[in-house]
């Protein structure tokens, strides 16, 4: 009955919308976050979608720039009796693969920035008393979705997953979904106009349909208590759950379970003791099956349990000091190129990190795919996860803050149950202004409120006084761990300039050197004073490693970067060819000399505090 009512409402909305074009935009609900969306039974919508490139967005806007009631989202088919032309046809249009950025699928799209239309048919048999969500792993940057011509949602932010309710829009039998994805860069976006990576557009991660019961678990948090290492605590939120209804959390392998009741806000907080829990660590990345039950809904995930905290200038994993032997990683697909999304991409990238001797990766500069986080959980690689607050945003614009907050909420909401993630990074290399500091402090407080179980960091810029590098950015106050980016030997000085560089750090907190590096073209050899040779990059690493060992509060490092990645800022012909060449490995998988320098330091433990 409820469903019928909802469908009738939807139908009238649709009629209204036809009469008042702008109505559609307002009728669509905001997308929601589903924790563990990839753990739910789903109907995949991956594969080939019809696609129409639309640089002027004429599929959505009329010649007087009003939102159309009969845009491409209607997926209209021309009929012989028509008295007007239909100037598009998804059936005849070129195809694009989903998941996948469009830039690396067709040569003519490599540089394309603008709106792109996608269409896919599907058949479905809705079940009564269910909600149906269109799940989108990521769509860069702004995206709009319609099902059977009805607007179902709009979303902003290119690197987080979201879910649009389509319960009333989908009907029994044949259906179609249309998406418009627009990767135009804007000054008030997060990230903004300038980045040092390729602005890959499109439905870059998986798309599926997820059916859940009327009352369903949308978000949950299950983690080991920092205070008491034998207590698992957290909460489950049930959308549409009746106050007082019961939720069960179970770890069958440990014969441990608990029941908790949902409060007025739909949330059931729990904590329970477990015996014999083996903690997750890089040496032993033990994962347990965790089952959550709430009425008709249930979800099952493999989770690790560990604690992460700081003591003075140390980072403690499971109560013991740990040195983070890391490397920074972009979500760029090895060999194939383009945006990474698959298990295979994740396993190749993290496999290289492990071969280097890493126990840690900085996943720069935006939230990476769930596949990457699951692989890190399995492989025992700790993760720095990052909000795309990169360089100089409009820090005094409240709308920009709201966008950054939304992306942070989605990042934490989606990935908070990954043991691998130990750090939430708020930002990278932002200018030192009051507006910036307030902006990022607001984000840091929000992240702490959302997830008090992890550490907050950001990659800061440093200033210099003679041979002394000074880390005193006021933002440091808001952080648990200070991230520091520096490029001695590349953007400033020579590799050996590191030898007489000293560090003055204003905070009594752990420090991670979150970036250093140098560019080298794989296969280009020469002497170590020649820029772009593998020898030069290796020399920068050697001098850097010695210098880093002199920073007493150093708790970790993630040199820039694991693999060469595409960037439009890097046009040097014959060397860069639009790739940032600071990789330890080329995009074709060729290891450069610096890879082996770092590998040796990590394997011999000649870098970092003894653990």
Q: Which residues bind ligand GCB (CB under 6 A)?
A: 196, 365, 428-429, 485, 515, 560, 580, 582
Query: CA-to-CA distance for 312 and 552, rounded, in angstroms?
Result: 12
Query: CA-to-CA distance for 3 and 129, rounded, in angstroms?
Result: 7
Angle at Cα 467 formed by Cα 546 and Cα 549, nearest 5°?
20
Element (H, E) at 142: strand 142-147
Per-residue b or e along 354-387, where b marks 16 or more CB atoms closer than 10 Å to that residue's CB: bebbbbbbbbbbbbbbbbbbbbbbbbbbbbbbbb
Query: CA-to-CA distance for 15 and 177, rounded, in angstroms?
Result: 19
Q: How far is CA 327 from CA 221, 349, 554, 589, 602, in A?
A: 28, 11, 15, 16, 11
**Nearest residue to 145 (alpha-carbon basis) of 110, 182, 97:** 182
Closest contact distance (angstroms) between CB of 582 and ligand GCB is 5
Judged by CB, which is closer to ligand GCB: 144, or 197? 197
Does residue 151 contact residue 164 with C-beta atoms inside 8 Å?
A: no
Judged by CB, which is closer to ligand GCB: 415, or 580? 580
Closest contact distance (angstroms) between CB of 322 and ligand GCB is 24
Q: Which residue is nearest to ligand GCB (CB)?
A: 196
Does residue 117 contact residue 67 with C-beta atoms inside 8 Å?
A: no
Closest contact distance (angstroms) between CB of 560 and ligand GCB is 5
Closest contact distance (angstroms) between CB of 349 and ligand GCB is 16
Query: Phi first, then psi: what are they for 287, rounded to 5°?
Result: -115, 140
Judged by CB, which is closer to ligand GCB: 430, or 555? 430
Q: How far is CA 338 from the centre of its chain?
A: 15
Does residue 422 contact residue 380 with C-beta atoms inside 8 Å?
A: no
Judged by CB, which is closer to ligand GCB: 49, or 366? 366
Judged by CB, which is closer to ligand GCB: 235, or 579? 579
Closest contact distance (angstroms) between CB of 321 and ligand GCB is 27
Does residue 360 contact residue 386 with C-beta atoms inside 8 Å?
A: no
Which residues does residue 485 pair with via DSSP β-bridges, in sequence order? 515
Judged by CB, which is closer to ligand GCB: 296, or 492? 492
Ordered strands of the 502-505 beta sheet: 463-465, 468-471, 502-505
Judged by CB, which is closer to ligand GCB: 135, or 582? 582
Judged by CB, which is closer to ligand GCB: 377, or 515? 515
Does residue 515 contact residue 559 with C-beta atoms inside 8 Å?
A: yes
Say whether 436 sits in a helix, a strand or coil: helix
Judged by CB, which is closer to ligand GCB: 63, or 491? 491
Query: Phi first, then psi: what are they for 540, rounded to 5°?
Result: -55, -45
Closest contact distance (angstroms) between CB of 158 and ligand GCB is 16
Judged by CB, which is closer to ligand GCB: 145, or 198? 198
Closest contact distance (angstroms) between CB of 63 and ligand GCB is 40
With the C-alpha atoms ordered 456, 599, 470, 197, is the resulting torsion angle positive or negative? negative
Closest contact distance (angstroms) between CB of 594 and ligand GCB is 14
Q: How far is CA 389 from CA 199, 264, 444, 451, 580, in A?
A: 15, 34, 12, 19, 20
Closest contact distance (angstroms) between CB of 517 and ligand GCB is 7
Q: Where are the alpha helices (DSSP H) in 422-496?
A: 434-450
* Radius of gyration for the alpha carbons in the chain, expressed in angstroms and rounded: 25
Closest contact distance (angstroms) between CB of 204 and ligand GCB is 19
Closest contact distance (angstroms) between CB of 157 and ligand GCB is 18
Judged by CB, which is closer to ligand GCB: 365, or 418? 365
Closest contact distance (angstroms) between CB of 446 and ligand GCB is 23
Judged by CB, which is closer to ligand GCB: 57, or 565? 565
């Amino acid at each position: 009955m409820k469903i019928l009512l909802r469908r009738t409402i939807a139908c009238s909305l649709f009629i209204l919308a036809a009469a008042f074009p702008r109505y559609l935009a307002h009728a669509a609900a905001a997308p929601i976050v589903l924790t563990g969306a990839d753990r739910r039974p789903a109907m995949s919508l991956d594969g080939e979608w019809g696609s129409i490139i639309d640089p002027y967005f004429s599929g959505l806007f009329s010649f007087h720039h009003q939102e159309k009631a009969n845009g491409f989202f209607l997926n209209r088919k021309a009929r012989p009796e028509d008295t007007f032309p239909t100037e598009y046809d998804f059936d005849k249009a070129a195809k694009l693969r989903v998941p996948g950025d469009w830039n690396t699928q067709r040569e003519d799209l490599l540089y394309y920035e603008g709106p792109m239309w996608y269409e896919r048919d599907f058949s479905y048999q809705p079940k009564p008393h269910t909600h149906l969500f269109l799940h989108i792993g990521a769509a860069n940057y702004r995206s709009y979705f319609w099902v059977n011509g009805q607007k179902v949602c709009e979303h902003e932010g290119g690197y987080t997953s979201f879910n649009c309710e389509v319960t009333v829009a989908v009907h029994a039998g044949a259906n179609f979904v249309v998406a418009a994805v627009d990767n135009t860069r804007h000054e008030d976006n997060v990230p903004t106009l300038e980045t040092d990576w390729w602005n890959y557009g499109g439905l870059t991660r998986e798309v599926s349909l997820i059916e859940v019961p009327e009352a369903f678990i949308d978000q949950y948090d299950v983690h080991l208590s920092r205070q008491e290492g034998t207590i698992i605590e957290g909460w489950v939120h049930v959308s549409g759950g009746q106050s007082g209804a019961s939720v069960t959390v179970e770890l069958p392998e440990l014969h441990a379970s608990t029941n908790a009741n949902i409060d007025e806000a739909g949330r059931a907080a729990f904590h329970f003791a477990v015996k014999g829990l083996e903690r997750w660590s890089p040496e032993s990345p033990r994962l347990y099956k965790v089952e959550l039950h709430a009425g008709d809904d249930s979800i099952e995930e493999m989770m690790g349990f560990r604690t992460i905290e700081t003591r003075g200038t140390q980072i403690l994993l499971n109560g013991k000091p740990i040195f983070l032997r890391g490397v920074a990683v972009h979500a760029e697909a090895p060999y194939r190129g383009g945006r990474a999304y698959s298990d295979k991409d994740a396993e190749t990238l993290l496999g290289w990190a492990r071969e280097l001797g890493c126990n840690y990766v900085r996943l720069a500069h935006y939230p990476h795919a769930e596949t990457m986080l699951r692989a890190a959980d399995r492989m025992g690689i700790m993760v720095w996860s990052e909000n795309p607050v990169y360089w100089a945003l409009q820090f005094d614009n409240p709308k920009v803050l709201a966008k950054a907050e939304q992306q942070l909420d989605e990042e934490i909401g989606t990935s908070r149950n990954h043991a691998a993630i130990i750090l939430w990074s708020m930002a990278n290399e932002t200018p030192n202004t009051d507006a910036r500091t307030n902006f990022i402090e607001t984000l840091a407080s929000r992240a702490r409120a959302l997830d008090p179980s992890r550490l907050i960091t950001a990659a800061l810029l440093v200033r210099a006084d003679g041979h002394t590098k000074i880390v005193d950015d006021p933002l440091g106050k808001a952080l648990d761990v200070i991230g520091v980016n520096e490029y001695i030997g590349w953007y400033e000085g020579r590799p050996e300039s590191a030898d007489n560089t000293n560090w003055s750090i204003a905070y009594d907190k752990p420090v991670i050197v979150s970036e250093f590096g140098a560019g080298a073209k794989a296969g280009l050899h020469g002497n170590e004073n020649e820029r772009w040779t593998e020898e030069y990059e290796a020399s920068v690493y050697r001098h850097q490693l010695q210098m880093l060992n002199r920073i007493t509060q150093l708790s970790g490092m993630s040199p820039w970067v694991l693999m060469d990645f595409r960037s439009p800022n890097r046009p040097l012909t014959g060397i860069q060819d639009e790739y940032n060449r600071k990789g330890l490995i080329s995009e074709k998988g060729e290891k450069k000399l610096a890879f082996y320098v770092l590998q040796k330091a990590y394997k011999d433990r000649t870098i970092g505090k003894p653990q």
